[in-house]
């Protein structure tokens, strides 16, 4: 798998933010002239780096040169002091790399509410700068993790007019996952040339069908951010290459984002199940989403999934409380994988408990609901709730 993206270099260092001898700082350098777009958390308590990254992205007209990422501390709920820390670390990068401070975008992840001091980050920056190399995607993807058990990294190569365009992305996230815009943190880069307006449109669409379709626990983080940059270093201007090239690039971007998003679910805190919730036959997309997320967020459904218990009554209850107006329960059909469980408001006549147990046993399964109210549909990916999910979150700060 090709990872390197022309015009992108990554450096990794150890700042000792939460623990010593641990890679916890990543600096990503983008070639001059790169276009940047980003989506950020909808949580009202946005972390200081989110606020500053949004400001710098606007002030630089989307032409940022550096993304600075630290783990071990979210720098959220830290007030003016936290904002000053984010500013000082950006200033340090600007001075070391001879760029404008508005061309540096900060990102943080980790514990909320603890002060993040600038000095450890600034002291580690020379090591990150010296480490900059286009081949360091794998190391960087490891360095941005928190409770994740493995890195999330994906790459695509698209052939355009006899040349190759590369897209590579990395993400982190395992808990506090219901993005509402992106994911915990995601960084995608391509060496194609794309205008900021067009890149924003492409990336928003890719996020809407990937990162905005996942949930572990229904909690939207204070630090969510998804970024994409186009360096133009391939010499291929996607917008000028015609419909076929655009379609190929769009498909590659959307599949890359979906792979990263689903990797977050597969690595959900304590997860033993990867679950697709598919809702068909809705009057509109909103009511399909309402049903899908009600199922995906139900603790009773998620604990039954962990036990591989086909307790379909919990699924019917979730559908019934999703808030759909004038829902005719007799029209609803419920499936586990291809097994019809409920129809006409009750257990399907041919359904057996043994069928349900077989359907629930695999680590990957699909819950499908047919509302028979229209032509809309939606999909959401989620996990079960295990003993380990409780343990990981109970011990998060110890």
The whole-model pTM stands at 0.95
Same domain for 130 and 249 = yes
Please report, for the domain that includes residue 284, its CATH number: 3.10.20.340
- Do 220 and 312 lie in a common domain? no
Res. 372 pLDDT band, cuts 50 70 90: very high
Domain that holds residue 320: 274-394
Looking at the fold, whether 213 and 125 belong to one and the same domain comes out as: yes
Beta strands in the chain (DSSP E): 8-13, 25-30, 35-40, 66-71, 104-109, 152-160, 163-172, 185-190, 225-230, 274-282, 333-336, 339-343, 346-347, 364-370, 376-383
Q: What is the pLDDT of residues 25-37, one digit of tens each?
A: 999 999 999 999 9
Predicted pLDDT of residue 247: 96
Domains contained in the chain, number: 2
Domain-ending residue, one of 247, 266, 285:
266
Residue 1 has pLDDT above 60, yes or no: no
Q: What is the CATH number of the domain that holds 18?
A: 3.60.70.12
Quick one: pLDDT at residue 51? 98
User: What per-residue confidence (pLDDT) applies to 96?
Assistant: 98
Residue 160 lies in a domain: yes
Based on the fold, state whether residues 317 and 336 are members of the same structural domain. yes
pLDDT of residue 182: 75
108 phi/psi in degrees, rounded to 5:
-135, 150
Q: Are residues 257 and 296 in the same domain?
A: no
Nearest to 41 by CA among 210, 185, 141: 185
Q: Assess whether pLDDT exceeds 90 at residue 256.
A: yes
**38 plus 152 within the same structural domain:** yes
pLDDT at site 161: 87
Answer yes or no: do 190 and 258 share one domain.
yes
Q: Is residue 1 part of a domain?
A: no
Helix axes 79-97, 118-130, angle to 10 degrees: 30
Query: Of 221, 237, 266, at which residue does a domain stop?
Result: 266
Residue 232 banded pLDDT, cuts 50, 70, 90 = very high
Residues 140, 207: one domain?
Answer: yes
Residue 303 exposure: Cα atoms within 13 Å on the Cβ side: 6
Q: What is the mean pLDDT of residues 118-128?
A: 98
Predicted confidence (pLDDT) at residue 396 exceeds the cutoff of 90: no
Task: Give me the active site residues, please.
Answer: 183
Q: Do 289 and 262 fall within a single domain?
A: no
**Distance separating alpha carbons of residues 325 and 363, to the nearest angstrom:** 34
């Amino acid at each position: 798998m090709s990872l390197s993206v022309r015009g992108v270099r990554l450096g990794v260092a150890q700042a000792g933010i939460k623990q010593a001898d641990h890679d916890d700082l990543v600096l990503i350098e983008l070639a001059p002239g790169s276009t940047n777009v980003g989506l950020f958390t909808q949580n009202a308590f946005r972390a200081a780096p989110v606020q500053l990254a949004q400001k710098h992205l606007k002030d630089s007209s989307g032409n940022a040169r550096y993304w600075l990422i630290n783990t071990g501390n979210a720098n959220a709920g830290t007030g003016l002091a936290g904002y000053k820390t984010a500013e000082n670390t950006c200033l340090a990068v600007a001075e070391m790399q001879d760029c404008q401070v508005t061309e540096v975008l900060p990102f943080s992840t980790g514990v909320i509410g603890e002060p993040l001091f600038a000095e450890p980050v600034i002291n580690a920056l020379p090591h990150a700068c010296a480490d900059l190399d286009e081949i360091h995607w794998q190391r960087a993807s490891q360095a941005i993790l928190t409770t994740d058990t493995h890195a999330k990294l994906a790459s695509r190569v698209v052939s355009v007019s006899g040349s190759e365009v590369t897209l590579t992305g990395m993400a982190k996230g395992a808990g506090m996952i219901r993005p509402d815009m992106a994911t915990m943190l995601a960084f995608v880069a391509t060496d194609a040339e794309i205008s900021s307006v067009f890149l924003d449109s492409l990336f928003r669409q890719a996020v809407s069908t990937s990162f905005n379709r996942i949930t572990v626990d229904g909690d939207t983080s204070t630090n969510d951010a998804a970024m994409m940059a186009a360096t133009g270093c391939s010499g291929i201007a996607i917008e000028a290459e015609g419909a076929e090239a655009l379609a190929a690039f769009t498909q590659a971007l959307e599949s890359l984002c979906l792979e990263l998003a689903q990797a977050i679910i597969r690595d959900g805190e304590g997860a033993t199940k990867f679950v697709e919730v598919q809702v068909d036959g809705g009057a509109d997309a909103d009511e399909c989403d309402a049903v899908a997320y009600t199922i995906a967020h139900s603790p009773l459904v998620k604990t039954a999934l962990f036990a591989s218990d086909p307790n379909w009554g919990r699924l019917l209850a979730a559908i019934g409380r999703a808030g759909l107006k004038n829902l005719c329960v007799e029209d609803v059909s419920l499936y586990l994988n291809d097994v019809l469980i409920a129809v006409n408001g009750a257990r399907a006549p041919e359904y057996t408990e043994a069928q349900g147990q077989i359907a629930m046993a695999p680590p990957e399964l699909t819950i499908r609901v047919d509302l028979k109210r229209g032509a809309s549909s939606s999909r959401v990916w989620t996990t079960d709730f295990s003993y380990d999910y409780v343990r990981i979150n109970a011990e998060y700060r110890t």
